[in-house]
Homo-oligomer: A and B are copies of this chain.
Amino acid sequence: MNTVELIKKKRDGKSLTSDEIKYLISSYTKKKIPDYQFSAFLMAAFLKGMNKKETAALTEAMLYSGKIINLNSIPGSKIDKHSTGGVGDKTSLILAPIVAAAGVNVPMISGRGLGHSGGTLDKLESIPGFRTNLSLTKYKQVIKSCGAVLAGQTKDVAPADKLIYSLRDVTATIESIPLITASIMSKKLAEGIDGLVLDVKTGSGAFMKKTSDAVELANSLIKTAKTFNKKVIAFITDMNQPLGKYVGNWLEVYESIMVLRGEQKDDLFELSTLLSGAMIYLGGKASSIKEGVEISKQLIKNGKAFNKFLEIVKLQNGNISIIKHPEKYPKSKVIEYIYADKSGYINSMDNYQIGMSALELGAGRKTKEDKIEPKAGLIFKYKIGDRVKKGDVLVELRGESENTIESVKQSLNKAILISNKKTAKPTLIKKILK
């Protein structure tokens, strides 16, 4: 096949055959197509789109660029969840133990923080000793022992995705529904799952700012999952403010512990039990999502979910005494506060700015080489719709440097708007799609 002719075909808005897509991906992965040709193809695909069949072929080509993990030796359903990312989104830490406690396997491969959005691996690694970099043997051992595993992507899984993602990042070809779909699905399908629950975020702290874009992405993911005979449910959920009240790596582990112990029943609790309920349903251990949610709540109440979390942490080398006594975790060097400058209602939050502020404090990376400060982050005392009085603490900032915390305070101050008018709380679950 002729690479230039294939670029031309996509450039002219025609559909590529599965074989043509396979040729492009496999040749690029083998470095037989140079970056400059593949980036021209990516831009053509970005601007001209790809239909359902092309997206499935792209997913398949990327999936088969690496190994598919075989979990056949492990009995029972294997269900995972994928979130498109946001601020304070720590549901993976909560639902993996719940779902495993309900008897459904959760083989979860997660990523690191990206820009304003946090990453599950960075959160887990704030637990002293916790290892996310597991061999395939260890990965299978953990899931066999306790029904869940929380690990990082190995180089064997969808290597084409890593290569293509790096190129997309520097060629302005990230925000493309078919390219995002193939990137997500190739990795998730490589886990050897039976079903997938999708949490597609929308709002100021999400990659998809508009709900219509989030729905389009969700539908593309659902279609592709179905092409591969996977059970799938997608939720469109709100990301106009942080999920829960804690943003930052250890802070989010801490909040997850509180939810798993049944000590916090807010939006984070609601979303986590909804997602775990859907996973339990897809895994065949509940007859409906609703029943799955009830089971989830029960598993929190009776302590089984928290015990499962301790089990996972222990199997992945984490220190379980700090999980039992999270108040003993080291404290940040500098703690500062933002106060309400007037009384009223929290009207809106610039959630992207909140994510970037947490990153500035040390919770994220500006370059790949940056080291994460696990203690750093933000604690929100109020959320949208809450009534506040002048002088109330709105946010607690935790960092390691006075200068940084001062500059973050400045920019974060402008990110929270107080209004005299009563403001409705945003709807957390906007849509359910199957």
Contact = CB atoms under 8 A, between A and B. Distances in A.
Interface in A14-48: 34-40, 42-44, 46-48
B172 A11 contact: yes
Given A36-B36, A36-B38, A172 B7 contact: yes
A173 interface: yes
Nearest to A10: B172
Contact of A4 (B36, B44, B171): B171
A348 B333 CA distance: 85
A178 to B, nearest CB: 15
- Dominant secondary structure of chain A at its interface with chain B: helix
Interface residues of A, number: 24
Interface string A193-210: 000000000000000000
A1 interface: no
Contacts of A11: 43, 46-47, 172-173
A1 to B, nearest CB: 14
Contacts of A34: 35-36
Contacts of A44: 43, 47, 172
A173 B47 contact: no
Contacts of A173: 11, 40
A231 B36 CA distance: 38
Closest 10 CB pairs of A and B: A40-B171, A35-B36, A43-B43, A7-B172, A8-B172, A36-B39, A39-B40, A40-B43, A36-B36, A47-B47
